[in-house]
Amino acid sequence: MNAKQMFGIAVTVCLASATFSAQAGSKVDKEAMKLDARATEIIKRDFRDKGIAKADRVNQDALQAACSKYEDDVPVDMKIKLEDEQAKQIKWPADGNFMGDWKAGEKLAQSGKGMTWSDKPDEPAGGNCYNCHQLSSKEIAYGTIGPSLLNYAKKQGTPEKGQRRAYGRIYNAKAYAACANMPRFGHMGILSEAQIKDLVALLMDPESPVNK
């Protein structure tokens, strides 16, 4: 067998292997799609409206569906597009002021109330911030899903830029990171404009425990 024949055999084997891999991958993709469809069917079957908790919460929008499909690692082009779409939907304060009362913001950040079936629709939800972030150097227990927020204001550059960035991230964190774990507090109507301003004050006011 000469070198040319050996090369031809090698190419044939490689092509056959690639075809098999593509077919196997396609089969795996189809099975995964079937499982996803089945899971969605079960979720929609078993979830029911109860109080203010409505079953439509299980319906994903385009961004959520993309993050689920790619397991939070969406292609760069898609990520940029999704973030741009989310950013365009941020409703900035009409008065141009991003700061509220940091003391009210602290109470809000430490409150996990809201969004459950037993809550009343006219009762404001809490920010639940402590579940994911460290907010004070005196805290004994806090979540670590999100970064520590200690000395937040000192890390943000100018106060104006920091305030706007903080407001935007709280309003819709997915405008900055498409598959972020952080809820879209303003976008989803969980927190009001005034509440978000109070949280911005908690993060940016030099007198708040975040910056002490």
Dump pLDDT digits (tens) for 127-143: 999 999 999 999 989 99
Question: Is pLDDT above 90 for 189?
Answer: yes
Kindly state the average pLDDT of the residues 2-23.
Answer: 46
* Same domain flag for 88 and 10: no
Pair 160, 57 in one domain: yes
57 and 37, same structural domain? no
- For residue 57 the two structure tokens come to 């919460």
| 121 in the same domain as 84 | yes
Helices 193-204 and 102-109 sit at what angle, rounded to 10 degrees? 100
Number of domains the chain is built from: 2
Q: Phi, psi at residue 31, to the nearest 5°? A: -65, -40
pLDDT beyond 90 at 89: yes
Give the 3-state secondary structure of residue 32. helix
Same domain? 13 vs 56:
no
Global pTM value:
0.81
Question: What tens digit of pLDDT does each residue of 26-57 get?
Answer: 776 788 788 878 887 887 788 889 999 998 88
If asked whether residues 63 and 163 sit together in one domain, one would say yes
Determine the pLDDT at residue 14. 46
Q: Whole domain around residue 150: which residue ranges?
A: 51-212
Q: Residue 175 corresponds to which tokens in the numbers above? A: 């405008």
Is residue 24 domain-shared with residue 123, that is, in the same domain? no
| Amino acid 5: pLDDT | 47
How far is 132 from 142, CA to CA, in rounded Å?
7
CA nearest 159: which of 203, 125, 116, 94?
203
Same domain, 67 and 24: no
